[in-house]
Amino acid sequence: MNLFSLEFIGFFLVLFFGYWLVAPRPGMQNLLLLCASYIFVIWSSPLFAGILLGYSIIIYGLGYLANKWINSKWTIALAWLLVVLMFITFKYYGALREALILPFDLPVLNILMPLGLSFYLFNSLSFMVSIAKRQIALPTFLDALLYMSFFPTLVAGPINRASQLLPQLDTATPRRLTEKKRAFFLITLGIIKIFFLSSALDENYISNVFSAPQDFDASTNVIAVYAWAWHIYFNFSGYTNLVTGISLLLGIQIAKNFDHPYLATNPENFWKRWHISLSEFIKDYIYIPLGGNRCCWLRAQCNIFAAMTLSGIWHGAGYNFIVWGMLHGLGLIVYKLIKKILPFKTSTTVTRAVGRVITFHFICFTWIFFRAADWNTAWLMIDKIRHLNDWTINTPFIVFNALLIFYPALVAVRNKLAAASREIEWYWMPVPVVLSLAIAFFFAPGGIPGVIYAAF
């Protein structure tokens, strides 16, 4: 069920009015949300709903054991094993079978990856660790099912920490619709980003070039890379804006996932701004368990490299995703090495400006591997770009560089619009949502756009 479809709009309106009609009974609100979340999954496939339910029951059982009897380390280890098996079964089986040249095939595994698999697997690890470490009390079975299946964040995140979302599902505290204005502003912003900015970039500058980079000159390839950098940001952050707004309309605050990542002045700062829920998950559940920075400097850098490589593998089993993760690991290591060796301050206006330009272009370089269909396509594009004599300065090239230069000013304008929206009476706030949706349905390029991170 696409979040921009008429089916979803009708589905959410019915849920919204029913949900707040029973507001004096939070337990009933949770039950409605749980039913809505499973209807959302069943709409895609009843099989996917069965997989989610079965997995959630097993995780709740492990959480119960961790809370009552069994050594918590063993239950966390079992949860990790289960997560790995689920990923191998539904996400990596085909790639592993091809790589290992297995002489047999299991037809039962040749199905599409279940809806929301990655995000409810990550949620389950947060649930297990939080229970085992006594960070939260064991919730009721129905609340745990809702935490695992919460539909706004099921498809493409953000990743919900158990310690952050489960307390909001507590039936002892009535929910309030206190951030209506912010919700409608974020929904409008998400629609604009996804329908108008992201879709236009993909249709005009990206798809054709990445399909056959050898057929285009160096400048066109560079423009495609610039366009992809903004396309994936507008698409993913727009989706996050949208689901954050939807969640706020249900009285629930989800994790922040973006903080204007192309303002980053170094690779470390980028990962504090881009897909924040994933980068914090990697830090807490992979990097720190590997030893983090509690060891010698060299070992700490190895931990960073391993964590970022695993991040690449999570995105996909292809060599291009692995290289993407490794490049980010190397970028973080080089930055830390420079910071360790060079004595000058890194907080001056000049160094921040230079750092932002260098960081943006490093991120763009890594995006080539992320977007390319395979390893060979990525290298074809890089080979094209390196021919400097084939470069021409045209209008799109100037526009994309101007976008980078003036991005801080655009962020400031966005913040002023957000502040201004808080001065508008709340009953006017649905108007820009309806108008932007109407314009999008009739005039936006490419029809209803997909969500890039739904594939991961």
Q: pLDDT, tens digit, for every residue of 277-298?
A: 999 999 999 999 888 888 888 8
Residue 107 — very low, low, confident or very high, per pLDDT cuts 50/70/90? low
Give me the percent of the chain exceeding a pLDDT of 90.
53
- Residue 348 tokens read as 């001056």
Q: Please check the confidence at residue 362 and state whether its pLDDT lies above 90.
A: yes
Q: What is the 3-state secondary structure (H, E, C) of the chain?
A: CCCCCHHHHHHHHHHHHHHHHCCCCHHHHHHHHHHHHHHHHHHHCHHHHHHHHHHHHHHHHHHHHHHHCCCHHHHHHHHHHHHHHHHHHHHHHHHHHHHHCCCCCCHHHCCCCCCCHHHHHHHHHHHHHHHHCCCCCCCCHHHHHHHHHCHHHCCCCCCCCHHHHHHHHCCCCCCCCCCHHHHHHHHHHHHHHHHHHHHHHHHHHHHHHHHCHHHCCHHHHHHHHHHHHHHHHHHHHHHHHHHHHHHHHCCCCCCCCCCCHHHCCCHHHHHCCCCHHHHHHHHHHHHCCCCCCCCCHHHHHHHHHHHHHHHHHHHCCCHHHHHHHHHHHHHHHHHHHHHHHCCCCCCCHHHHHHHHHHHHHHHHHHHHHHHCCCHHHHHHHHHHHCCHHHCCCCHHHHHHHHHHHHHHHHHHHHHHHHHHHCCCCHHHCHHHHHHHHHHHHHHCCCCCCCCHHHHC
Residue 245 — very low, low, confident or very high, per pLDDT cuts 50/70/90? very high
User: What are the residue ranges spanned by the domains of the chain?
Assistant: 6-169, 180-265+346-455
In the chain, the amino acid numbered 441 is F
End-to-end CA distance of the chain: 17
Q: Which of 13-27, 146-160, 297-311, 340-354 has the lowest mean pLDDT?
A: 340-354
Contact 193, 175 (CB under 8 A): no
446/201: higher pLDDT = 201
Spatial distance between the Cα atoms of 443 and 194, rounded to a whole number of angstroms: 13
Name the residue among 334, 325, 331, 320 with its Cα closest to residue 307.
Answer: 325
Q: Please check the confidence at residue 110 and state whether its pLDDT lies above 60.
A: no
Q: Please check the confidence at residue 72 and state whether its pLDDT lies above 80.
A: no
Give me the mean pLDDT over the 96-124 stretch: 71
Spatial distance between the Cα atoms of 76 and 84, rounded to a whole number of angstroms: 12
Q: Please check the confidence at residue 103 and state whether its pLDDT lies above 90.
A: no
Residue 369 — very low, low, confident or very high, per pLDDT cuts 50/70/90? very high
Tell me the pLDDT tens digit for each residue of 393-426.
Answer: 777 888 888 888 888 888 998 888 888 878 888 7
Q: Please check the confidence at residue 346 and state whether its pLDDT lies above 70.
A: no
- The pLDDT score that the predictor gives to residue 325 is 95
- The pLDDT score that the predictor gives to residue 344 is 63
Spatial distance between the Cα atoms of 145 and 37, rounded to a whole number of angstroms: 10
* Backbone phi and psi for residue 304, each to the nearest 5 degrees, phi listed first: -60, -45
Within 10 angstroms of residue 203's Cβ, the number of other Cβ atoms is 15
Residue 80 — very low, low, confident or very high, per pLDDT cuts 50/70/90? very high
Give me the mean pLDDT over the 63-77 stretch: 83
> What average pLDDT is seen over the chain?
88
